[in-house]
Structure 1
Amino acid sequence: MYTTLISAADLAARIDDPGWAIVDCRHDLANLAFGREAYAAGHLPHAVFADMESELSGARHAQDGAFRGRHPLPEKEALVAVLRRWGVDDGTQVVAYDAHGGMFAARLWWLLRWIGHEASAVLDGGLPAWQALGLPLSSDPPEPRRAGTIAVRAPFVPTVTVREVLDNIENGRKTVVDARAADRFRGENETVDPVGGHIPGAKNRFFKDNLRDDGRFKAPAQLREEFEALVRDPQDAIMQCGSGVTACHNLLALEVAGMPGAALYPGSWSEWSSDPARPVAKGAA
């Protein structure tokens, strides 16, 4: 069972295994058609496509009209319905990949753990690592599969609400780590974040800092050393980002480092900054 990362070579050895499900998670926040177009042009053999906006995210507004962020969590049963359509059972090994260092694939990895599915991994290095080995791509649609039987189970990962994050500013019990780029964290990129800045007291760990130059994850020991400089105890940490997507990359890196237990704030900055009553800090951490 793979529960964090899998190498391109290891995946190639199991690519035809009917007990495995390969999922293409490519996406572009500025061009929502990109992922599906890239998938149609060429994807890993047998891979299905996951749409970030409609399948890996839920409704942006709650029933009371409250804004939940740009990529709120989907309803668990809706996610399970998608997974069953892909043929995923409780025992299926799921491998997610993208072409962006895992920034989108990590979201599916985390969602699977959120519904209690442990056999979930990200292709280390993504599509570039696959192609670097000269491995083939396919433009054919995936073969029809019987409906899967996966069910919701107890989650392996915790979440926190905006109320809990707000309370934490007062009590300071948990460390908040923001996965956005430094300029967005400091409040210097209003094109992306119209309300610039960060949650008071938060620290900054850009998700790309988890990667080596070749796009693969750093070694566990190095990740652990770097995260220990930010987080005393992962069970007392909250990961967030712009909309709850790249924060999952930091959560995956923590798992690779042997530091499980951190929580995701799903609404992240997009939810937080939507209410002017919530405090905002600017500048460096």
Structure 2
Amino acid sequence: MAAMANDPEGYANPQLLATPSELANALASADTPLLLDLRPAEEYAAGHLPGAVHLDLFGISLIDTDPAPLRAFLWILEHLLASRGVDASRHVVVYDEKSGMRAARAFWALEYFGHEHTRLLDGGFGAWQAEGHPISTDPVVPTSTSWTGAATEDRLGTYRDVLDRLDKSDAVILDTRSDGEYRGTTVRAARGGCIPGAVHVEWTTNLRPDGSFKRADQLREMYTAAGVTPDKEVLTYCQGGYRAAHGYLALRLLGYPRVRNYVGSWKEWGDRLELPITLMPNA
């Protein structure tokens, strides 16, 4: 799939997204991409992009980023992707109901494993349907591959990585959760609150009302105002690494060179009682 020659959104990395029309053209060509539908099974069954393979990763999370459980988690992710037909040579397009966190998590996983031709359908199934492109209810049986990725370690963060960067001026910790979670009024682990020094940009603010990504200038202004600038290493987190993957993708679109998804996120950090937390004012 070729990226648009002139990107009207101004992204540094426009090739990370596919518009519905771009994807429709690619599906009509000889070199069709692999489509991964990350929505719940019942939504896939009700209608999906023609030829799309179903892959629901939502239950695959990690609450311990020590080396052994992290290796097991990554092994599961890698083999699930291979079981759905991922290989190194074929382009992959991931989607969910919009430019959402489920698809962003799959996007991050494929990038972590070094897949060089991964894109997210901007606006997702909703945008595809709104433009009148065909929908199928035929189930697709995937053809598994023996693909194994080449891990790009600096795209993943552990609790040790975050702890090491708490007081570093060239790093910023990005909390992508809801305001209540960030302030500690919504508690979804042993403790509520946030990682000390974390700045807050909720993942939904990356999107327009129609579910597509905002323009680059809008995203850049929003992140710069929060202190998330491209000269810093950014470590994103949420509850379990899904919304954090969405922040990861937004920053990749802007060309930020150093972005990690802390996959253990608040569920791990809040449950590890030895790790420091902050309760924001009015919590």
Please state which band the TM-score falls in when normalised by the shorter chain.
0.7 to 0.9
Summarize the Cα distance change of 1:82–1:247 in structure 2 as closer, same or farther, 3 Å threshold: same
Residues 49/21 of structure 1: CA separation in 2 closer, same or farther (3 Å cut): same
Among 33, 46, 69, the residue aligned to 1:20: 33
2:220 to 195, 202, 224: 224
- Could you tell me which amino acid in structure 2 is paired with residue 87 of structure 1? G
| Residues 24-60 of structure 1 deviation map (CA, whole Å, 9 limit, x = unaligned) | 112xxxxxxxx11111111111111112145xx3565
Tell me how many residue pairs correspond in the alignment. 268
Q: Which runs of 5+ in 2 are unaligned?
A: 4-14
In 2, Cα distance between equivalents of 1:152 and 1:45: 27
Structure 1 residue runs of 5 or longer lacking an equivalent are 27-34
Aligned to 1:114: 112
Structure 2 residue aligned with 1:141: 139
Q: Any residues of structure 2 matched to 1:240-259 within 5 Å, and which?
A: 240-259=237-256
Contact kept in structure 2, 1:73 and 1:266, CA below 8 Å: no
Question: Cα distance, 1:62 vs. partner?
Answer: 7.3
Distance in 2, matches of 1:200 and 1:248, equals 20
> Would the alpha carbon gap of residues 281 and 36 (structure 1) be closer, same or farther in structure 2, given more than 3 Å must change?
same
Aligned equivalents of 1:5, 1:11: Cα separation in 2: 10
Q: Which residue of 1 aligns with 2:8?
A: none
Q: For structure 1, which segment, 248-257 or 77-86, has the greater mean C-alpha deviation from structure 2 after superposition?
A: 77-86
Normalising by structure 1, we get a TM-score of 0.84
Query: What percentage of residue pairs aligned between the two structures are identical?
Result: 36
Residue in structure 1 matching 2:162, options 161, 165, 172: 165
Secondary structure of 1:231's counterpart equals coil
Moved more, 79-88 or 261-270: 79-88
Partners in 1 of 2:49 and 2:179 — Cα distance? 33
The residue number in structure 2 matching 1:80 is: 78
Letter aligned with residue 256 of structure 2 = M
Distance 1:95 1:177, change over 3 A: same
Q: Which runs of 4+ in 1 moved over 6 A?
A: none
SS in 2 for 1:81: helix
How far 1:245 moved relative to its partner? Answer: 1.0
Higher helix proportion, which one?
Answer: 2
Aligned partners of 1:41, 1:275: CA distance in 2, in Å?
41
Aligned-CA RMSD value:
2.7
1:212 Cα offset (Å): 1.1
Deviation for aligned residue 1:99: 1.0
Letter in 2 for 1:37: E
Whether the 8 Å contact between 1:234 and 1:262 is mirrored in structure 2 is no
